[in-house]
Structure 1
Amino acid sequence: MGRRRRQRGRPVSGVFLLNKPSGMSSNDALQRVKYLMFADKAGHTGSLDPLATGVLPICLGEATKFSHFLLDSDKGYRATFRFGIQTETGDSDGDIVAQQSAAKLTKKMVEKAIEPFRGDIMQVPSMYSALKHNGEPLYKLARQGITVEREARPCTIFQYDFLDFRSGEIAEADVFVHCTKGTYIRTLAEDLGEALGVGAHVSMLHRTQAGPFFEEDTTSLAELEQLREGKRGEDMDYLLKPTEAAVDDLPGFDLSEDVAFYFKKGQPVICPQAYRDGEEGDIVRIFLEDGPFLGVAEILDDGMVAPRRLIVER
């Protein structure tokens, strides 16, 4: 019988809100937080490009079961679009592929060009996105010089605010975007540059919001490293949001201890309040009455709620 592999890290659960630094991949940031928190399991909730900074929720332990809810949530970004330069990747990390004067642009021209990109739009994903083609991320194909056909995808731009404009041969505009999942800010920049006839790319990108989480609640990697110095991972647990925070925007309902017993075993149970106040197919949070978060469930057509993700007590 083989020797059992010793698990690294402790079974800690919760959501750490990282203010990701520029120049670091989301996975590298994740691994650093996992190490500093001495956690046995971690996962992020949708990657940010190395160029980008800002809100990167990192789920630890049982919270990883709910990370896809944050992946599907709305996002907010502050960005700077640089006009007159097109790059291979659509951001300032890529090689320049075309350049022309943007001196003709005015604030009014840019504001007017933004208007058609508000609301429900169709967007063709960048070849440098993490979307997969036949199981291979597009950015890996792009680095091999391979371009594949991509279908336009729907997304919604709830808010697209023009913040500032700096004219010149290379002009710049600062914007704020609140959008649905799957919206590519670099594509917004490229499409706006094309509409204005001068090309554009993203030179700065900062995520201000990911679902229910905002930048004012984040901790930087430098701050975490400083706080961790000479301490244990347990001493940093006060920085964690509770596991249920990952699904904080879902309705919540309580179960009595007797009913919760069966729910925790994975069985559908009766929850009259959820059936009365929700609709069939809704995903809801379930709590023990006057107790902890148990997981999420789907409301069925017969008045029952069926477990979909359960918390495992460790």
Structure 2
Amino acid sequence: MNGFLNLIKPAGMTSHDAVVWFRKLSGERKTGHLGTLDPMATGVLPLALGSSRKLTEYLIEKDKEYEAEFTFGITTDTGDVTGEVVSRKDCSGLTKDRVLGMLPLLTGEITQVPPMYSAVKVSGRKLYELARRGETVQPKPRKVMVYEFSLVKWREGVSPRATFHLRVGKGTYVRALAQSLGELAGTGATVSRLQRTRAGPFRIQDGYSPEKILQLKRSGKLDEALLPPTKCLPEFPAFPVGPDVIQAVKNGAPLEASLIPGAVRNVLSSSGHPGLFFLMDRNGEVVALMRLEDDRIRYEKVLITS
């Protein structure tokens, strides 16, 4: 199998469990995910299959969208409702307008400290592994991008609940945003619900639940759920090449820039374009990802396996 699968992860399943489940179901051992989604969270968890895993780095850089519910007045050791409660506070005086006034402070490029319960590595060890052993370390702050942080719904009460729409860049932790917003409010806050609605080109309305994937597998139609690399990375132009070029790619031989069609070359030379393009066989299967640089074709990723 080769391509990408837009899995809609249910609550309670870890991202690793999702990969293991699909490997067993499909028999495709070369399966990985495109960015960890918390166990309590639901939504888009794209899977990369076969040689398409080599393209993960280009997709994992793309922005993501979430619908998140924060509960004010409660803090936990994990930053969400699965953790142990650290503090409680009566927040009946917290208003919607006050929260709205704080959102611009957490929008744009901000400095964020990853939560202790996260997959960020310190000295080669994941933070959540250290946290479970009772070891405390101070993760280094890092710059992240929050493109949009808007309030969708507000529920008043002793522990007010707010639903937000978020569009964020790579490496942004929603649980850390909840913590920061709670600190600004002086109340504390935790994530009580989280759903990833988009990860790059993968949208929740186009995804497949585990139940649907199982149905497709049983009916022999699992391939229908797979998306080719060219669909997921449309900014990289693609064009077919003949058997001679494909054999040259398999051998790692130099390729002449003259084989690139004029229309494709115009795209590659446009301002801001990274110069990346796909070579395809006559059946539409991706052979390799290449780069045009200084009027020379350089190998980026070879996907063809035989």
When residues 204 and 67 of structure 1 are mapped into structure 2, their CA distance, relative to the original with a 3 A threshold, is same
Aligned partner letter, 1:297: M
Q: What is aligned with 1:278?
A: 268
The share of aligned pairs that are identical, in percent, is 35
For 2:226 and 2:245, locate their aligned partners in 1 and report how far apart those are by CA, in whole Å: 29
**Root mean square deviation, CA, Å:** 2.1
Pick aligned residue for 2:279 from 287, 300, 307: 287
Match of 2:163 in 1: 174
In the superposition, relative to structure 1, how do residues 57 and 283 fare at CA in structure 2: closer, same or farther (>3 Å)?
A: farther
Distance 2:275 2:171 in 1: 21
Q: Which amino acid aligns with 2:223?
A: D
**Paired residues of 1:298 and 1:308 also in contact (CA < 8 A):** yes
Give distance in 1, aligned partners of 2:188 and 2:119: 23
Residues 97-119 of structure 1: per-residue CA shift (max 9 Å, x gap): 11111111111011111111111
> Structure 1: where are the runs of 5+ without partners?
1-11
Show structure 2 runs of 5+ residues with no match: none
The answer on 1:68 being equivalent to 2:69 is no
Cα shift at 1:70: 2.1
Q: Does 1:299 align with 2:292?
A: yes
Task: Provide, for residues 103-153 of structure 1, a one-character-per-residue CA deviation record: whole Å limited to 9, x for no partner.
Answer: 111110111111111111111111111010111001111112222122211
Question: Does 2:42 align with 1:42?
Answer: no
The 3 A distance-change label for structure 1 pair 249 and 146 is: farther
What are the Cα deviations for residues 203-251 of structure 1, in whole angstroms up to 9, with x where unaligned?
111001111110011110122224434x4xx4311111124334x1432
Q: Deviations over 1:25-76 (max 9, x none)?
A: 0111112122222323211111111001100111111111112222222111
Question: Do 1:268 and 1:304's aligned partners in 2 also have CA atoms closer than 8 Å?
Answer: no
Partner residue of 2:197 out of 198, 208, 222: 208
CA distance in 2, matches of 1:199, 1:267: 59
Q: Equivalent residue for 1:92?
A: 81
Structure 2 CA distance for aligned equivalents of residues 295 and 276 of structure 1: 20
Kindly tell me: are residues 190 and 61 of structure 1, through their superposed partners in 2, closer, same or farther at Cα, counting changes over 3 Å? same
Q: TM-score, normalised by structure 2?
A: 0.90
Q: Which of 168, 178, 184 lines up with 2:173 in the alignment? A: 184
User: How far has the Cα of 1:261 moved from its partner?
Assistant: 4.0
CA contact (8 A) 2:236 2:277 kept: yes
Aligned to 2:239, the other structure's residue is in SS state strand
Shift of 1:179: 0.9
* Compared CA separation, residues 74 and 278, structure 1 to 2 (3 A): same
